[in-house]
Amino acid sequence: MAPPDTNPDVSAIAAAPALTEWHLDLQAEGARRDEAVAHLHGLLLRAARFEVFRRRNSLPQISAAELDDLAQQAADDAAVSVLRRLDDFRGESNFRTWAYKFALLEASVKVRRRAWRDREVTLEPEHWESLAHAGPGPDDDAENAALLEAVREGIRSALTPRQRQVLVATVLEGVPIDVLAERLGSNRNALYKVLHDARRRLREHVAAAGFPEATR
Amino acid sequence: MTGRDLDPTLMRLLGSDEPELDCDECFAQLDRYVELELRGAPADALVPGLRAHLVGCPACAEEHESLRALLELDSVS
């Protein structure tokens, strides 16, 4: 089969599999299971291709064949995850929807990491000074300037080095959290907890500095 | 000045004090949440904390958008 075009429309995505109880065969044996696994993989590949091509603008240097290879890898990894976690499926959604999310996760993480593969991730805390350029413009009043200074001071003094690193990288430097997690040897959930705690500390600092309304 | 009036960068720095799920919890509930949304059901009431997480986590928000878009594509194909 020819790889999808670099600028595909929905015709590049195979038709959605029918809604049936086929997934029950994933826990069967022999040929029935093999057929169900093949069906699952087709479904996951469909979702992975959808995601990769949806995000293709973040990978302008990548050929259509490489994009499709990325989708194949994502589908393969998603199939492993789905088969390992079949017992987690409780029927609270359609099985197809449940399986799709694994492929979308794998594909989106691969796209983000590929897009940042050759980019340096700056982890120097001093970079939060760039906040000065993200704040109010020259016509804004003294209250805005004071709030901005309170936030800067909070980043400087209220956060742990790890919290400052994660907050600055993800919010001010725009580093995707999966990319940062990979560089730091961590994972998305752990880093998001660090980010969540950093934000809470920063809100507390800003509120104590006289801007409680800015944190609501 | 309330949080809603803030510069978007300041909003992303400060986040929200609304209770929210973490990334793993969000992933666990995402399929159910999107199906509820597409059915017009009160997804935010039935899956509390997920919307607040999507506001604070761009990666999970992208995956939410994609799952919703893919299911919408399925519904017309």
**For A112-144, what is each residue's pLDDT tens digit?**
999 999 888 877 656 666 565 544 454 456 777
Please tell me whether the interface predicted TM-score (ipTM) of this complex is above 0.95. no
Intra-chain end-to-end CA distance of chain A, in Å: 54
Residues A18-25, mean pLDDT to the nearest whole number:
72
pLDDT at A20: 61
A190: CB partners within 8 A, 6+ apart? A181
Go through chain A and tell me how many residues it has.
216
Query: Which residues of A are less than 8 Å from B37 in CB distance?
Result: none
Higher pLDDT: A24 or A169? It is A169
How would you class A177 by CB atoms within 10 Å of its CB: exposed for 0-12, middle for 13-18, buried for 19 or more? Answer: buried
Tell me whether A215 touches chain B (CB under 8 Å): yes
Q: Which of residues 41-70 of B touch A (CB under 8 A)?
A: 56-59, 62-63, 66-67, 69-70
Tell me whether A10 touches chain B (CB under 8 Å): yes
Separation in Å, CA B44 to CA A97, B34, B40, B65: 18, 10, 11, 15
pLDDT at A24: 84
Q: Minimal CA–CA distance to A166: which of A140, A134, A189?
A: A189
What rounded mean pLDDT belongs to chain B?
Answer: 93
* Lowest mean per-residue pLDDT among A3-17, A135-149, A165-179, B19-33: A3-17
pLDDT at A6: 44
Closest approach of B15 to chain A, Cα-based (Å): 6
Is B1 within 8 Å of A213 (Cβ atoms)?
yes
How far is the C-alpha of B71 from the C-alpha of B37, rounded, in Å?
11
Q: What pLDDT digit, counting tens, does each position of A33-52 carry?
A: 999 999 999 999 999 999 99
Q: Which stretches of A56-173 are DSSP H helices?
A: 64-84, 95-115, 131-134, 142-157, 161-167
Residue of B13, B24, B74 with shortest CB distance to A189: B24
Q: CA-nearest residue of chain A to B23?
A: A189
Higher pLDDT: A7 or A89? It is A89
- Percentage, residues of chain A above pLDDT 70: 81
Q: What pLDDT digit, counting tens, does each position of A59-88 carry?
A: 999 999 999 999 999 999 999 999 999 999
Query: Which residues of B are less than 8 Å from A167 in CB distance?
Result: 13
pLDDT at A15: 54
Inspect the interface and report whether the beta carbons of A147 and B1 lie closer than 8 Å.
Answer: yes
How far is the C-alpha of A38 from the C-alpha of A43, rounded, in Å?
9
Tell me whether B77 touches chain A (CB under 8 Å): yes
Residues A13-21, mean pLDDT to the nearest whole number:
57
pLDDT at A91: 92
Token pair in block for residue A157: 């003094």
pLDDT at A13: 55
pLDDT at A146: 86
Inspect the interface and report whether the beta carbons of A177 and B2 lie closer than 8 Å.
Answer: no
Q: Minimal CA–CA distance to A211: which of B1, B12, B6?
A: B1
Inspect the interface and report whether the beta carbons of B3 and A213 lie closer than 8 Å.
Answer: yes
Q: Which of residues 4-43 of B touch A (CB under 8 A)?
A: 6-7, 9-10, 12-15, 17, 20, 22-24, 27-28, 30-32, 34-35
pLDDT at A186: 97
Q: Which of residues 169-188 of A touch B (CB under 8 A)?
A: 171-172, 176-178, 188
Inspect the interface and report whether the beta carbons of A100 and B32 lie closer than 8 Å.
Answer: no
Separation in Å, CA A183 to CA A113, A165, A166: 10, 12, 11
pLDDT at A28: 86
